[in-house]
Amino acid sequence: MILAVSTLKNPSSPADGYRGRFAPSPTGPLHAGSLLTALGSWLDARKNGGKWLLRIEDLDSPRCIPGAERHIQAQLLACGLSWDEELSFQSERQGLYQQALERLNELKLLYPCTCSRQDIASTLAKLGVLTPRNQEMVYPGTCRPNQSEIYSPELLKTSKVAWRLALPQDCHIEFKDLALGPQSQDLDKEVGDFILRRNDGVFTYQLAVVVDDAKQGITHIVRGEDLLSNTARQIHLQKILGYRTPQYLHLPLVLDEHGEKLSKQTLATQINTQDDKQSLAELRKAAQHLGLRNLPDGENITIAEWLLAATRAWKGE
C-alpha cells in the first residue's frame, strides 16, 4: 500500500525500476549517429531489465519533416529495436509544458525578453565578451527586471516575446555522467538566463525534455555527447520543478570525414534497413562505435540473436 502511494506521488520512484527512452526529433530518417543513440539506450535498458520508451520530439515544427516519425519507427523495428508502452509525441503534450511554465511564473522565476540574436551579440561585443565559433552566446541579462514578479497567465500564453528563466547567482551544477565521470557547469556564467518559451510560442527543448522525462518516470537518460552541455540546465530545471534527477550516460558521437557530428544539417545519409542483412550491418557498425567487442560476426545469425549477444556484451554502468 505504501509502495502504491509513493509510486503515485512520484512516477520515477526506484520501485518502478529502470525506465529509459529514445527521443528523436523527426527532422529526417535515422542516420549512423542516431542509430548509435537508439542502440546504446536500448541495450542499456534491456541489460537492466528496464523499459525503453520512444518519444517523438516534434515541437519545432518548421524543422520537422512530415512522415519522418513513421520512417524512424520503421527503421527501429527493422533493426529489432522495439519500444515499450505507447509512443508519445511532444506536440500532443503542450498542456504539460504550459503548466510547468506557469509553476515557474508563480515562483517569480520568469521574465519576458525581446532581444534578437543581433542585440545579444552587440551587447556582448560592447562588454568585450567574445563567443567562440559554434558556441552559444551567454545571455547578458539585458531584459532581466530588477524586481522579479508574477505575470498574468494570459500574457504567458499569448505574448509574442521569449520567456527566460532567471538563474540565481553562482548557479553551479555538478553531476556524474555514467560514461564520462564527474561534470560541472556554472550556468549563470557559461549559459545565462535561458529561454523556455520562444517568441513564436514554441516551448524549448530544455523545458519539454525535463517535463517529459519526469512525467514519463524516466530514470536513465542515454544519449549522444552533443547533448552533454544541456544537462546542467536540465538538472537545474528538475530541481526547481521538484523533479527527480535521472542518471545520465552520454555516448560518443559518430563523426564524418571532416570530424563533424553527423546530422541532417551535414546531410548524413540515412541508414539502410532494406532487408535484415543490411540492418544487421548497420547495427554492427553502431556496436563497433560503442566499443562492443567479440560480438558474433557470422552471416547466419538473426537480428534478435545478435541483439541478445550485444545486450550481454553491453556494460553501461
What nine digits make up the cell of 63?
A: 524543422
H/E run at residue 163: strand 162-165
Residue 25 Cβ, how far from ligand GLU at the closest point, in Å?
4
Going by their DSSP bridges, the two strands 162-165 and 181-186 should be labelled as unpaired
Residue 122 lies near Zn ion (rule: CB under 5 A):
no
**Whose Cβ is closer to ligand GLU: residue 25's or residue 75's?**
25
Find which of ligand GLU, Zn ion, none residue 142 binds, CB within 5 to 8 Å per kind: Zn ion
Residues numbered 100 to 119 that lie near Zn ion (CB under 5 A) are 113, 115
**Whose Cβ is closer to ligand GLU: residue 57's or residue 282's?**
57
Burial class (CB in 10 A: 0-12, 13-18, 19+), 30: buried
H/E run at residue 187: helix 187-190
Cα separation, 299 vs 167, in Å, equals 55
Going by their DSSP bridges, the two strands 181-186 and 220-224 should be labelled as unpaired
**Whose Cβ is closer to Zn ion: residue 67's or residue 145's?**
145
Binding test (CB under 5 A) with Zn ion, winner from 96, 107, 143, 313: 143
| Phi and psi at residue 3, to the nearest 5° | -60, -45
Find which of ligand GLU, Zn ion, none residue 271 binds, CB within 5 to 8 Å per kind: none
Cβ of 42: how many Cβ atoms within 10 Å? 25
- Interface stretch with Zn ion, choices 137-145, 225-233, 270-278, 309-317 (CB under 5 A): 137-145
Cβ of 82: how many Cβ atoms within 10 Å? 12
Q: Which residues are at the interface with ligand GLU (CB under 6 A)?
A: 23-25, 57, 209, 223, 227
H/E run at residue 278: helix 276-289
Binding test (CB under 5 A) with Zn ion, winner from 99, 116, 122, 142: 142
Find which of Zn ion, ligand GLU, none residue 23 binds, CB within 5 to 8 Å per kind: ligand GLU
Total interface residues for Zn ion by CB under 5 A: 4
**Whose Cβ is closer to ligand GLU: residue 23's or residue 45's?**
23
Residue 115 Cβ, how far from Zn ion at the closest point, in Å?
3
Residue 234 Cβ, how far from ligand GLU at the closest point, in Å?
8
What nine digits make up the cell of 23?
A: 527521443
Find which of ligand GLU, Zn ion, none residue 223 binds, CB within 5 to 8 Å per kind: ligand GLU
Q: What's the Cα-to-Cα distance from 53 to each of 21, 48, 215, 221, 269, rounded to whole Å?
A: 4, 14, 12, 11, 25
Query: Which string of b and e fits 90-100 if b means at least 16 CB within 10 Å?
Result: beebeebbbeb
Find which of Zn ion, ligand GLU, none residue 249 binds, CB within 5 to 8 Å per kind: none
Find which of Zn ion, ligand GLU, none residue 57 binds, CB within 5 to 8 Å per kind: ligand GLU
Interface residues with Zn ion (CB under 5 A) are 113, 115, 142-143
